[in-house]
A and B are shown apart, each in its own frame.
Chain A
């Protein structure tokens, strides 16, 4: 059954999304994102596409399937998809209901995704299913912190941010492990809150 609550939340935010993130977060995170996406190779799955703000950071000439739960987001992403020098097959889909055959993709990339997926471990297990053995999971995510007082701050913020968008206190690294992946590298970008995660399916 489609997650209509999450879809409605992101549809509502879609028209304001670029204004909120394109000048600040995306520019600040650009070097770390470019570095992560430079690993794109083979047949790639990218979730969640959003309005396509990450597309300019993709290396050219890649073959990418990208999806988002929000039809409005995918609609707004079309100009960036058209401008990409490579192939992006954009779809509307829920990570919990992916219809790809098992072991379809060489790599899976996420960008600020698992702060919002309602059941993160189930979502990551779904990614594990569609990834080929030996394939890589590459994530750019913000998570909770392990340290005082940042941990408590992120818990407090989540009470507010959850209503309009993401959670701020997810244990994404542990969730990746719990979904059956082997961690290859965790790289902190800002404190231990914004990070890149590289994991593998053995």
Chain B
């Protein structure tokens, strides 16, 4: 992960905000009685698109790739997760936003872990 504090905090805030907004959109659209699979898949797709749209203002200060990829990933999971739950049970607006925040925080931690595993010198020059 990028260990400069500005980027650590910025990445976290960006993904928490995007997660909450996507979750609220999914909460507004999906209600109990929806087919759970339809809600999950449609909100996953919508979340990815919303994440892709919302990355731009954050990217001005945080960088394009480091914002765009986590934003899409957070949008995808926040939409899918909240869409699924909203189809199964009544959900308050606050609860939906909290779920989105948690998904956003979890996704950026996942990206940090994957980045820590992938970054650095690779074996590609040796044919790996």
Complex interface: stretch among B19-27, B63-71, B89-97, B98-106:
B63-71
Q: Is the CB of A29 within 8 A of B125?
A: no
- Within 8 Å by CB of B121, from A28, A29, A186, lies A186
Q: Is the CB of B122 within 8 A of A186?
A: yes
Interface string of A139-153 (1 = CB under 8 A from B): 000100001011001
A20 on the interface (CB 8 Å rule)? Answer: yes
Cα distance A28–B68 in the bound complex, in angstroms: 14
Q: Is the CB of B73 within 8 A of A149?
A: yes
A122 on the interface (CB 8 Å rule)? Answer: no
Q: Is the CB of A190 within 8 A of B65?
A: yes
Residues in A with CB closer than 8 Å to B5 are none
Cα distance A192–B67 in the bound complex, in angstroms: 15
In chain B, residues 55-97, which have Cβ atoms closer than 8 Å to a Cβ of chain A?
A: 59-69, 72-73, 76
A101 on the interface (CB 8 Å rule)? Answer: no
Tell me how many residues of A have a C-beta within 8 Å of chain B.
32
Say what secondary structure dominates the interface of chain B.
helix
Interface string of A161-202 (1 = CB under 8 A from B): 000000000000100000000011111111111110000000
Cα distance A19–B57 in the bound complex, in angstroms: 12
Residues in A with CB closer than 8 Å to B121 are 185-188
Q: Is the CB of B60 within 8 A of A188?
A: no
Cα distance A186–B63 in the bound complex, in angstroms: 21
In chain A, residues 5-28, which have Cβ atoms closer than 8 Å to a Cβ of chain B?
A: 19-21, 23-25, 27-28
Q: Is the CB of B64 within 8 A of A25?
A: yes
Cα distance A27–B111 in the bound complex, in angstroms: 20
Shortest C-beta distance, B31 to chain A (Å), equals 28
Cα distance A186–B111 in the bound complex, in angstroms: 20
Cα distance A56–B63 in the bound complex, in angstroms: 18
B9 on the interface (CB 8 Å rule)? Answer: no
Shortest C-beta distance, A69 to chain B (Å), equals 21
Interface string of B96-128 (1 = CB under 8 A from A): 000000000000000100110011111011000
Cα distance A24–B65 in the bound complex, in angstroms: 10
Cα distance A175–B47 in the bound complex, in angstroms: 33
- Within 8 Å by CB of A157, from B62, B63, B68, B115, lies B68
- Within 8 Å by CB of A193, from B7, B48, B69, lies B69
Cα distance A142–B68 in the bound complex, in angstroms: 13
CB contact under 8 A between A190 and B120, given known A24-B60, A24-B61: no
Most B CB contacts (10 A, CB to CB) among A20, A153, A173, A183 go to A153
Q: Can you list 13 A-B contacts with CB-CB less than 8 angstroms, sorted by A residue number?
A: A19-B60, A23-B60, A24-B59, A24-B61, A185-B125, A186-B124, A187-B122, A189-B119, A190-B115, A192-B122, A193-B65, A194-B65, A195-B122
B residues sitting closer than 8 Å to A (CB atoms) are 2, 7, 48, 52, 59-69, 72-73, 76, 111, 114-115, 118-122, 124-125
A residues sitting closer than 8 Å to B (CB atoms) are 19-21, 23-25, 27-29, 142, 147, 149-150, 153-154, 156-157, 160, 173, 183-195
Given A25-B63, A188-B119, list of 5 further CB < 8 A pairs? A24-B62, A27-B63, A153-B69, A186-B125, A190-B66
